[in-house]
Amino acid sequence: MERQSTNDGAGTPLSATGRAILGLLGSAPRTGYDIKSAVDGSIRFFWAASYGQIYPELKRLESAGLVRVASAEKGGRRRSVYEITAAGRDALQAWLASDAELTTEMRDEGLLRFFFSDLVDREEALANVRAMRAHHEAMVRRLREIEPKSIQARDAGRRFPYLTLMGGIELHEQRAAWCARMEKELS
Amino acid sequence: MERQSTNDGAGTPLSATGRAILGLLGSAPRTGYDIKSAVDGSIRFFWAASYGQIYPELKRLESAGLVRVASAEKGGRRRSVYEITAAGRDALQAWLASDAELTTEMRDEGLLRFFFSDLVDREEALANVRAMRAHHEAMVRRLREIEPKSIQARDAGRRFPYLTLMGGIELHEQRAAWCARMEKELS
DNA sequence: ATCTTCATGTAATAAGTTACATGATTAA
DNA sequence: TTAATCATGTAACTTATTACATGAAGAT
């Protein structure tokens, strides 16, 4: 087994979510709140993060010297804007260039139910598949909403977020189509 | 927000992994070891479980009266075969027929890297996509290996495991195809 | 003989969610 | 004036992984 986290020299190894946050700070300085919005508005379909992870992780990244806090104020209001440091950029690049094992996991309770559907009536199996399809179709709609923003970034020279988004749309379209086929199969 | 777990009357609510285990015991009595094998050999691509979850969960299911242990012996060796009880079957059916929220999550570090690939050279982005494709192709091969077993179950009247498996193969084929297209895009 | 599979479990740790608490600013 | 958005954080809890320990049975 290989090490599962990137560790450059000393200090606590960087967790996968830490890398995600660092990556988002790679393109712009952000507050914890901004990071949560960015996660939800772009990488959420393959990588989620809650405030309960983000704020503590930002502190860990800071004490590891990978980000620095530029405590700005907006109005009279406290606001901590984090930006990536040179060391942070190095760590990020090192991760992106490494050949470490990539975790890929899926947890889909809809498929779990589908798998066990021999135990229930056709109607119940059908209801489950319909719910799955509705979910994937909703995902496609949500992803399409962020398409314009992604196109802007692409035209500004950052094409990967756009390509990733298109991949996500395709993925959920394929899953929705599979559900539709299963609905026919069960009818 | 709705309750996230199925709770029939009193006792500890049943966790998602508990439901997965109960579902597997729905078709045959099994040991903890058998359950691990069954998970790895069928539902793993959308629902994983480790021994560290399985053995404690079996005890919880037992004290909730949803499974019973028929302590069999094979050779001179200790062996705990669990089987589902009538109450367990009720709980399983109730879950399969309920309209509770279905958790669907994905964590894909390859896509995370891809998303951030504007920060690295074309070569590094390409290496990452190739690794992703290799992974999905390996998944397709592994799933195809269990196809015969699945066909047998289908011919014996349990068709959903087969349909689920075909869905998984399609899913990973689609992802591999997307990777191939991205490789072209980057060349 | 020795390797693989069968078999059971726990302890430490890591990762992540949910609920809660608090309050300012901005748009309608 | 009221709702939405911006903003920060923690505590309790749940969930899951990893590493370890142990050993018999069956195959080569």
- CB < 7 A contacts with chain D (nucleic strand): A 1, 4, 31-34, 37, 51-52, 55-56, 58-59, 74, 77-81, 105, 107; B 5, 15-17, 48-53, 75-77
Residue B128 lies in a domain: yes
> In chain A, pLDDT over 90 holds for what percent of residues?
86
For residues B13 and B58, the model is more confident at: B58
Q: Are A131 and A110 in contact (CB under 8 A)?
A: yes
* Nearest CB to A119; choose among B96, B117, B131: B96
A85 in Cβ contact with A65 (< 8 Å): yes
Residues B89 and B20 in one domain: yes
Kindly state whether residues B90 and B157 are assigned to the same domain.
no
Same domain membership, residue B139 and residue B91: no
Total structural domains within chain B: 2
Which is it for strands A73-74 and A77-78: parallel, antiparallel or unpaired?
antiparallel
**In this predicted model, what pLDDT tens digit does every residue of A138-155 receive, in sequence order?**
999 999 999 999 999 999
Report the alpha-carbon distance of residue A69 to residue A65 in Å, rounded: 10
Residue A72 tokens, joined: 């700005």
Contact assignment for B171 to A175 by CB distance below 8 Å: yes
Residue A23 banded pLDDT, cuts 50, 70, 90:
very high
- Smallest CA–CA distance, residue B77 to chain A, in Å, is 31
Contact B43 A115 (CB under 8 A): yes
Show which residues sit with Cβ under 7 A of nucleic chain C: A 4-5, 15-17, 48-53, 74-77; B 1, 4, 31-34, 37, 51-52, 55-56, 58, 74, 77-81, 105, 107
C-alpha closest to that of A133 among A107, A165, A110: A110
B104 to A107: CB separation less than 8 angstroms, yes or no:
yes
Q: Does position A6 have pLDDT exceeding 50, yes or no?
A: no
A22 and A90 in a single domain? The answer is: yes
Q: What is the pLDDT of residue A3?
A: 33
Same domain, A22 and A84: yes
- Among chain B residues, CA nearest to A134: B102
Residue A107 φ/ψ, nearest 5 degrees: -135, 110
Contact B53/B31 with Cβ under 8 angstroms? Answer: no
Residues A38, A81: one domain?
yes
Among A5, A103, A109, A128, the residue to mutate for chain B (most B Cβ within 10 A): A109
Q: Is residue A64 domain-shared with residue A128, that is, in the same domain? A: no
CB contact under 8 A, A135 and B19: no
Do the domain assignments include residue B48?
yes
Question: Which bases in strand D are touched by protein, i.e. have an atom under 7 Å from a CB?
Answer: 6-12, 14-20, 23-26
CA distance A63 to chain B (A): 23
Q: Which nucleotide is closest to the Cα of A53 by its C1'?
A: C16
Say how many CB pairs under 8 Å bridge A and B.
185
Distance set, CA B106 to CA A100, A104, B53, B97 (Å): 19, 8, 20, 24
Residue B93 is part of a domain; what is its CATH number? 1.10.10.10
Least confident stretch, A35-49, A121-135, B5-19, B48-62: B5-19
CB contact under 8 A, A47 and B112: yes
A34, A91: one domain: yes
pTM of the predicted structure, to 2 decimals: 0.93
Nearest beta carbon to residue A93 from set B102, B104, B120: B120
Residue range of the domain that includes A20: 16-99
Write down the pLDDT at residue A5: 43
The pLDDT-based confidence of B74 (bands split at 50, 70, 90) is: low
In the predicted model, is pLDDT for residue A77 greater than 90? Answer: no
Average of per-residue pLDDT values in chain B: 92
- The mean pLDDT value of chain A amounts to 92
- Give the H or E element holding residue B64: none
**pLDDT score for A13:** 79
CB B48 within 8 A of CB A105: yes
Residue B115 lies in a domain: no
**Confidence category of residue B71, pLDDT binned at 50, 70, 90:** confident
Q: State whether B92 and B126 are in the same domain.
A: no
For residue B46, is it within any domain? Answer: yes
Confidence of residue B13 (pLDDT cuts 50, 70, 90): confident
* Pair A182, A147 in one domain: yes
B149-164 tens-digit pLDDT: 999 999 999 999 999 9
Residues A72 and A132 in one domain: no
What integer pLDDT is reported at residue A11 of this predicted model? Answer: 58
Any domain includes A2 = no
Residue A180 distance to chain B (closest CA, Å): 12
Residue A106 lies in a domain: no
Residue A11 lies in a domain: no
pLDDT at B178 over 80: yes
pLDDT over threshold 60, residue B6: no
pLDDT digits (tens, 9 = 90+) for A160-172: 999 999 999 999 9
Q: Residues of chain B with pLDDT > 90: what percent?
A: 86
What mean pLDDT do residues A49-62 have? 98
In a domain, A88, yes or no: yes
Q: Is the dihedral of CA B6, B8, B14, B16 positive or negative?
A: negative
Distance from CA of A127 to the nearest CA of B (A): 8
Q: Residues B37-52: pLDDT tens digits?
A: 999 999 999 999 999 9
State the Cα torsion B90-B151-B45-B19 to the nearest 10°. 10
Are A145 and A178 found together in one domain? yes
Q: Which of B99, B103, B111 sits opposite A164 (nearest CB)?
A: B111
